[in-house]
Amino acid sequence: MKLKTKIHLLTTLLMLVILVATNIGVYFLYEELAYDTEYKQLQHRGDELSTALSKLEVQTNIQQVIRAYMPTDGAVHVYDERQNLKMKVQATLDMQDAKYITFEMPAIWPDGTVVEIELVQSMEEVMRTMSLLKIILILVTLLAAIPILLASLALSRLILQPLERLSTTMKKSADTGKYEKIELTDKGKDELTEISRTFNGMMEKLEQHYQKQQQFVSNASHELKTPITVIESYAKLLLRRGFDNEAVTKESLQAIANESARMHEMVLQLLELAKNKEQLDVQWEQIELASLLENTATQMQQAYHRPFIVDEAVPDHIYSDEKMLKQLLFILLDNARKYSEGKIQIHASEDNQYVFVTIQDFGDGIPEEHLSHLFERFYRVGKDRNRKTGGTGLGLAIAKELANQLLIKIEVESAVGKGSSFTLCIPKEEQQ
Ligand code: ADP
């Protein structure tokens, strides 16, 4: 059974059950009250009759007095001490088949004897009112069923329309392979509109991710194409002229070695970027800042024979992941080395919230218009300049991802011809 039919049936049934139960309740309550009122009236009449009888003289027309106190559609029976009918005063109607209530009480007859009077009241009138009430209640139930039916239809449509739209859009997405979105006609803030909005947001994110992925793959293959072409052409040159020309052989092998190294580096960086970066991977610990900076600088110095100068480190400790932070520092120091000639300075300072680690070089600098793109994958300021340095345009993208995981902000300042400084803003609060 369809969800729509289920909601429709259930709500209608529930409302009808409530309505019928209420009406039955009203009916029986009314009946109870009506009987109770009639009985009390009868009792009152009986009391009055008894008082009247006790005050009567023997010679008075008792029957007439009794008739005055007799219920409208009823009778009064008087029994003597031996339970024999002494007197019977009755309204015209035949009480044989009718439903009636009775009230009995002792009274003093004018001659001084004790008698029992029985007042009888026909319930014919009450029964008529009850059956009228029954018809009214049945009619009300039937009439109310129509708006209930319509309301439950409207309710099921209200709930299911957005869900149907959602399901149609999903099916369409699956069929066409496109990131379809739901058309949001109203500006409603209800939960179902919220679901549609969330779905659209999710689709948009998926589309963006897919496009990024596509862009990344096409960039990667484009970037790998150049070294492969270079290797291929030098290999062919080697085959043609390499056996008898030593200079050509040397040049070709050198170029092949360089390009292979570049490719190797690029593939390693691509793998690094493709890693599943989870916050959980971060091993937070207290790190001695001075020795971390000294260590990193010494390793760079030994590898490249360039001066990496560490200013006195303030503060003593920071809270981060040592391995990841070191990797981040290596990327920035390596860039500083690649794009400058002289010394490279490393400086640490702090304020209330952050510890700042700045890597300053005095090289070419970066023109302002490039600064906002530096952290994009494969972005390089000058392709020619980078081919010489062996850059791939992936270093800062990796640095950015590492920084994100370590909750570090990277700020860049640069002046063309004067040099660049990359500052890591490391938050001070301990992270778990
Ligand atoms: P690459 O592997 O090309 O160095 P990066 O992502 O590390 O890639 O850097 C992106 C670009 O930013 C580089 O191509 C370079 O032009 C520029 N760049 C990065 N660091 C510096 C720096 N310290 N000085 C000058 N230019 C830099």
Q: Which domain CATH number covers 52?
A: 3.30.450
Ligand 1 centroid from CA 317, angstroms: 29
Please identify, by atom number, the ligand 1 atom nearest to the C-alpha of residue 340.
24
Domain count of the chain?
3
- DSSP state, 242? I
310's CB contacts (< 8 A; 6+ apart) are 290, 293, 294, 297, 346
Same domain? For 290 and 423 the reply is yes
Residue 269 CB less than 6 A away from ligand 1: no
Q: Minimum mean pLDDT among 41-55, 143-157, 308-322, 375-389: which range?
A: 375-389
Using the predicted structure, report yes or no on whether residue 35 has a pLDDT greater than 60.
yes
Give the 3-state DSSP-derived string for 182-239, with helices as H, strands as E and coil as C.
CCCCCCCCCHHHHHHHHHHHHHHHHHHHHHHHHHHHHHHHHHHHHHHHHHHHHHHHHH
Q: How far is the centre of ligand 1, averaged over its atoms, from the C-alpha of 359 (Å)?
A: 13
Distance, CA 192 to ligand 1 centroid (Å)? 48
Distance 217 CA to ligand 1 centre (A): 21
My answer on whether 301 and 412 are in the same domain is yes
| Residue 127 reports pLDDT greater than 50 | yes
Look up residue 17 and give its two tokens. Answer: 């059950």
Query: 271 and 286: one domain?
Result: no
How do residues 188-205 score in pLDDT, each as one tens digit? Answer: 778 888 888 899 999 999
Fill in the DSSP letter of residue 241: I
Comparing 17-21, 30-34, 223-227, the range with the smallest average pLDDT is 223-227
- Mark whether 220 and 122 lie in a shared domain: no
Residue 174 lies in a domain: no
Task: Let me know whether 204 and 285 are in one domain.
Answer: no
pLDDT in tens, 89-119: 887 656 566 688 999 999 998 888 899 999 9
How high is the pLDDT of residue 432? 44
Which of 264, 344, 374 gets mutated to test ligand 1 (max ligand atoms within 8 A of its CB)?
374
- Residues 222 and 345 occupy one common structural domain: no
User: Could you say which of 85, 107, 130 is where a domain stops?
Assistant: 130
Note whether 305 and 401 are same-domain residues: yes
122, part of any domain: yes
Q: Which of 338, 344, 348, 363 is nearest to 292 (CA)?
A: 348
- Asked if residue 45 is part of any domain, the answer here is yes
Residue 287: which pLDDT band, with cuts at 50, 70 and 90?
very high
- Whether residue 355 is contained in a domain is answered as yes
80 and 21 share a domain? yes
Would you state the pLDDT for residue 8?
Answer: 86
Q: What confidence score (pLDDT) does residue 70 get?
A: 87
Q: Are residues 309 and 402 in the same domain?
A: yes
User: What's the gap in Å between 393 CA and the centre of ligand 1?
Assistant: 7
- The CATH number of whichever domain residue 391 belongs to comes to 3.30.565.10
Residue 240 DSSP label: I
Strand-pairing partners, residue 273, are none
For the CA of 382, the nearest atom of ligand 1: 16
What span, in angstroms and rounded, lies between the C-alpha atoms of 403 and 49?
Answer: 104
Is 299 inside a domain boundary? yes
Contact (Cβ atoms closer than 8 angstroms) between residue 300 and residue 307: no
Residues 114 and 251 in one domain: no
- Whether pLDDT at 369 is above 90: yes
> Do residues 358 and 346 lie in contact, with contact meaning Cβ atoms separated by under 8 Å?
yes
Look at residue 257 and tell me if it is in a domain: yes
Residue nearest to atom 8 of ligand 1 (CA): 393
Q: Is residue 143 part of a domain?
A: no
**Any atom of ligand 1 within 6 Å of the Cβ of 393:** yes
Would the CB of 46 count as within 6 Å of ligand 1?
Answer: no
In a shared domain, residues 344 and 408: yes
CA of 412 to the centre of ligand 1 (A): 11
pLDDT in tens, 381-426: 876 555 566 678 889 998 998 999 899 999 999 999 899 999 999 9
pTM of the complete model = 0.57
Domain containing 37: what range?
3-130
Q: Is 173 in the pocket of ligand 1 (CB under 6 A)?
A: no
Closest C-alpha residue for ligand 1 atom 2? 391
State mean pLDDT over 128-133: 94
**pLDDT at residue 380 in the model:** 87
For residues 224 and 286, membership in a common domain is answered with no
| Nearest-CA residue for atom 17 of ligand 1 | 381
Please report the pLDDT score of residue 92 as a whole number.
Answer: 60
Over 90: is that where the pLDDT of 378 sits? no
Q: For residue 128, what pLDDT is reported?
A: 92
Instruction: Find the CATH number of the domain harbouring 208.
Output: 1.10.287.130
Least confident of 21-35, 206-220, 324-338: 206-220
Cα 89 to averaged position of ligand 1 atoms, centre (Å): 122
Q: How far is the CA of 105 from the centre of ligand 1 (A)?
A: 115
Q: Which of 130, 149, 168 is the last residue of a domain?
A: 130
pLDDT digits (tens, 9 = 90+) for 305-357: 999 999 987 788 999 999 999 999 999 999 999 999 999 999 999 998 999 99
275, 309, 329 - which closes a domain: 275
